[in-house]
Amino acid sequence: MSRQPLPSLPPLPHFTQALGHGIYAIDTAFQRDHFDAAYLVVDDGRAAFIDTGTRHAVPRLLDTLQAVGLSTQAVDWVIPTHVHLDHAGGVGPLMQQLPSARLLVHPRGLRHMVDPSALWAGALAVYGEEEMQRSYGTLVGVPESRTVASTDEQRVRLGQRELRLIDTPGHARHHHCVWDETSGGWFTGDTFGLSYREFDDAQGRAWILPTSTPVQFEPEALLASLQRLMQTQPRRMFLTHYSAVGRDAADVRRLAGLLIEQIQEMARIARALQDAPERHLALKRELLALYQRGVAAHLGDAMSPEQVAQLLSMDVELNAQGLGVWLDKQRPRTEDGARSNGG
């Protein structure tokens, strides 16, 4: 009796990239292509999602799961690196589709995943209803019984591999990163910065910059978190913005060096401009100049300063906002407890 051939799997969707070691990067289509990634990790028939993108990304995540031949019952974990909405806005609706999954979230962010009303209100005040619906969609809470608060150095099983979580403040106090020994890489959320593929050089080497978005940027804490990540001598870094960087351990060290230099310089720039008139505009100008110099050193004249400004316009704006919030937190308090600038 002839053996029946195994059913073939459908090809991966165009928005999904296989990175090896059972890791798939899924372009969530937030803001633009190749800007925001969620990850599916598969081992021995079990799966985890690390970061989810927004609610609008959930169909792409489920399509990728189906394309690798797994059912929704195969997902054991949903692990947002932190609860900013471009990383965790899709957690609630995704969990509704995954009957066996538990949500593993930083303890400082857990309450916001159970009841996202404060997250929604904060973002709504900034963006307004129309933009919130367009970019993020309605937030959905997760039953507390399906949540687990992560702990520093926690280890969880996924199939035959082990994932390790560490607390990584600096970008946000509700941030953890996930170490995967199998690939030799960290899922870094925003702790290891931003690296867009448009900045890759002719040899495929990445350029990277830090993200100091409001409201919890702390440069010293971020530098300490980077040091912890590098202790494992990682060979790759899996970024939310965007996808895998680092060709080997030496290349990851190069990228870490770029981040450290820029974090220190960003803090220096901010301190120098603390009392400058039109401080926010001055911060944006100096940050853009810093990043343009960095890209020029990396790419030469392959990209114009104007192209750099266009690609990084949102990041320059948010980084300047974050530095401004950090500066105001550094001001000494007056006797009545208010900041010395009246805030």
pLDDT at 336: 47
Same domain, 269 and 160: yes
Q: Is residue 163 part of a domain?
A: yes
Residue range of the domain that includes 160:
156-336
pLDDT at 8: 66
Read off the tokens for 57.
């990304």
Same domain, 234 and 276: yes
| DSSP code per residue over 104-129 | EE-TTTHHHHH-THHHHHHHHHHH-H
Q: Which alpha helices (H) appear in the chain, and where do they start and end?
A: 58-67, 85-88, 91-96, 110-114, 117-127, 129-135, 219-230, 249-272, 279-299, 305-311, 313-330
Give me the residue label for tokens 């009796």.
1
End-to-end CA distance of the chain: 81
| DSSP code per residue over 156-209 | EEETTEEEEEEE--SS-TT-EEEEETTTTEEEEETTT-B--GGG--TT-----B
Q: How far apart are CA 218 and CA 83, in angstroms?
A: 17
Q: Is residue 5 part of a domain?
A: no
Q: Is residue 111 part of a domain?
A: yes
Q: Is residue 7 part of a domain?
A: no
Same domain, 67 and 169: no
CB 133 within 8 A of CB 124: no
**How many domains would you assign to the chain?**
2
pLDDT at 138: 87
Same domain, 291 and 237: yes
pLDDT digits (tens), the chain, 343 positions: 445 555 567 789 999 999 999 999 999 999 999 999 999 999 999 999 999 999 999 999 999 999 999 999 999 999 999 999 999 999 999 999 999 999 999 999 999 999 999 888 888 877 788 888 888 888 999 999 999 999 999 999 999 999 999 999 999 999 999 999 999 999 999 999 999 999 999 999 999 999 998 889 999 999 999 999 999 999 999 999 999 999 999 999 999 999 999 999 999 999 999 999 999 999 999 999 999 999 999 999 999 999 999 999 999 999 999 999 999 998 765 444 444 443 3
Give me the residue label for tokens 């913005």.
241
Q: What is the CATH number of the domain that holds 138?
A: 3.60.15.10
pLDDT at 214: 84
Same domain, 272 and 257: yes
Same domain, 261 and 280: yes
